[in-house]
Amino acid sequence: MTHALSVGRWLLIVVAVLISLFPFYWMLRTAVSPADEVFFDGISLVPSELDWSNFVRAWEDANLGRAVLNGVIVTVSILVLQLVTCIPAAYVLAKVKMRGTGLVLGIVLGCLLVPAQVTLIPTFIGVNMLGLADTLTALVLPFVTSAFGIFLLRQQMMSIPDSLMEAARTDGLGHFRTLRNVVIPMAAPGIAAFSVFSVFTHWNDYMWPLLIARSTDIATPPLALGVFQQADVGLDYSALSAGAVIVTAPVVILFLFAQKRFVQGMSGTEIPG
Amino acid sequence: MTATLERPVTAPDAVAVRRRDRSNLVPILFLAPAGVAIVLFVILPAVLSLVASFFSVPLAGGAWQWVGIANFQRVLTDPAVLQAIGNTAVYSVITIVPSLVIGLTLALLANSVSRGKPFVRTALFLPMTANLVAMAVVFRWLFAFQGGFVNQLLGFVGFGAVNWLGDTDTSLITVALVGVWRSASFSMMIFFAGLATIPGTLNEAAKAEGIRGFTKLRKITLPTMKPTVVFAVVLAVLASVQAFDTINVMTQGGPQGSSETILTMSWKLGFGYFDLGAASALSFLLLVVLIGVGILQRRVLSGGSK
């Protein structure tokens, strides 16, 4: 490797890292800036003083406390329901030889192709007909299972050696205990990766809450932020930015802790076995 | 549903036989919750979406009225919808290719650095996790006409200010830049994971043969991780066609429909104009395009290592 090439490579990496991180930095900078320093003349990358009151205003004016609570309830409920529905289904599709599993797997793969947006309108009408509009239940209901989750977990479970399944059977373990004592521990990396993915997706989801949540009492964090930025908050960009930090931080922190496992677990998806 | 589903381990033959008789019961029970949910929340709505596209659907409830292909005719002759379809095509082209090329380049770079690898990797992965509503808020100021950072920077190096989001010539490009920022990060994560699956012996063999640089990329790296490449392509296509949050927050499709896409348009038709039939027709057209992408994905998924 020549010296010039190496310098060029580092330059590219530095530029990429800067572009990657800059919006996050800008969000933080605006969130701690006094309100009159959001827009500026010349290039001032740091605020003259730190103003933490922006967070208080965002928390109160955008009703973010309530939204964060709603977000936690919705995200955790979806995660638990998806794990309860996806893990047993993935186990059957990966490890139980039964007539019809091929067809079921085909249907699951087919469902991966249907984007949420196509099912949006009928689901909206259905949820309304059930009288569930504007409830937390409506935010959770369409996501009780995940075709992607079944697919990802099946990939992980495929790699469990059949000899282990045989051993479980000779020990007299039924399906339930085989799943609990053998399969779940072995598929833990995939389960962890899917959990992170599920939390990302549903914490950040904007479209369905925008459609189904009417009152601010059941707004999720992105929705509360979206409403806040459209509402008449004047030019309070500092508070809006503080709100953006509050909405972004939980997922970023989760990712920082889980990233290695997440990337490993996700890599299982591209080479099905 | 705990141990009640189980029988004792050392069951006598009679019990074992009984167990074998109902041996498919437990697997079916295992599949049932996911199966019911998939039918209710994916298959049924997708079918209903197709059906609704042939009806006039009152949002408030009440009888659907058969209108044949009138919804399709209407959306396909509406200039605003045609503009949205065209914008979607442009948006896809200017986001898919750059995000894949940048994603692959960054994955190769991040993979090859000797120092600070975890930091570089984390920094480059971060856009993937971003909440798009929060980021759209930030990007709206970065690209603000007056006092926005991008225009400040342009002024600093002697260029005039551009009305990024307010000009019909630039609004689509600007929302696409945010799309690239986000999905390049996602592509990079997939490529990065894919690179890790290439056997070390292959890299050593290439080194011994003196194959490096672009030749190595073209002859060894890309062919070896072909499933990864196609997976990344498919996800990039899906991400570009499904872009919604950024546009909804940054421009709401404007100015004058210049950043409107199929998705924001079908949203507007359905929930702005309460024309659910037309919205269904448009989202069904989108589904047809995505099924094309999906057939490709299916072929790759089933043709992976088996």
Dump pLDDT digits (tens) for A176-225.
899 998 899 988 888 988 998 899 889 999 989 988 888 888 999 999 99
pLDDT at B16: 47
Q: Would residue B224 count as lying in a domain?
A: yes
- For a pLDDT cut of 90, what percent of chain B falls above it? 23
- Give Cα B76 distance to the centre of its chain: 24
- Could you give the CA distance from residue B35 to residue B41 in angstroms, rounded to a whole number? 10
Q: Would residue B51 count as lying in a domain?
A: no
pLDDT at A267: 62
Q: Would residue B73 count as lying in a domain?
A: no
- Give Cα B155 distance to the centre of its chain: 35
Q: How far is B237 from chain A (nearest CA, A)?
A: 12
Domain count, chain B: 1
Mutate to test the interface with A, among B24, B42, B245 (most CBs of A within 10 A): B42
Is the Cβ–Cβ distance between B187 and B102 less than 8 Å?
A: yes
At residue A111, does pLDDT exceed 90? no
Dump pLDDT digits (tens) for A113-144.
777 778 888 888 888 888 888 899 999 999 99
Q: Would residue B199 count as lying in a domain?
A: yes
Is B31 within 8 Å of A207 when comparing Cβ atoms? Answer: no
Domain extent, residue B175, equals 86-274
Provide the whole-model pTM: 0.83
Stretch B73-86: mean pLDDT: 91
**A96-101, long-range: CB within 8 Å, 24+ apart, which pairs?**
A96/A175, A96/B27, A98/B24, A98/B27
Q: Would residue B75 count as lying in a domain?
A: no
Is A256 within 8 Å of B194 when comparing Cβ atoms? Answer: no
What is residue B161's DSSP assignment?
A: P
Q: Residue B236 sits in a domain of what CATH number? A: 1.10.3720.10
- Give Cα B202 distance to the centre of its chain: 32
pLDDT at A184: 92
At residue A5, does pLDDT exceed 70? no
Q: Closest by alpha carbon to A55, among A251, A201, A254, A249?
A: A249
Q: Closest by alpha carbon to A247, among A261, A228, A230, A232?
A: A228
Dump pLDDT digits (tens) for B90-128.
999 999 999 999 999 999 988 888 778 888 888 999 998
* Residue A186 sits at the chain B interface (C-beta within 8 Å): no
Is B42 within 8 Å of A114 when comparing Cβ atoms? Answer: yes
Residues from chain A that touch B294, judged by Cβ atoms under 8 A, are 110, 112-113
Q: Would residue B280 count as lying in a domain?
A: no
- Could you give the CA distance from residue A158 to residue B145 in angstroms, rounded to a whole number? 54
* Residue A245 sits at the chain B interface (C-beta within 8 Å): yes
CATH assignment of A23-265, among 3.30.300.30, 3.40.50.300, 3.40.47.10, 1.10.3720.10: 1.10.3720.10
Locate all alpha helices (DSSP H) within B197-275, ordered by sequence.
200-208, 213-216, 222-224, 226-241, 245-250, 262-267
Residue ranges of domains in chain A: 23-265
pLDDT at B104: 94
Residues from chain B that touch A220, judged by Cβ atoms under 8 A, are none
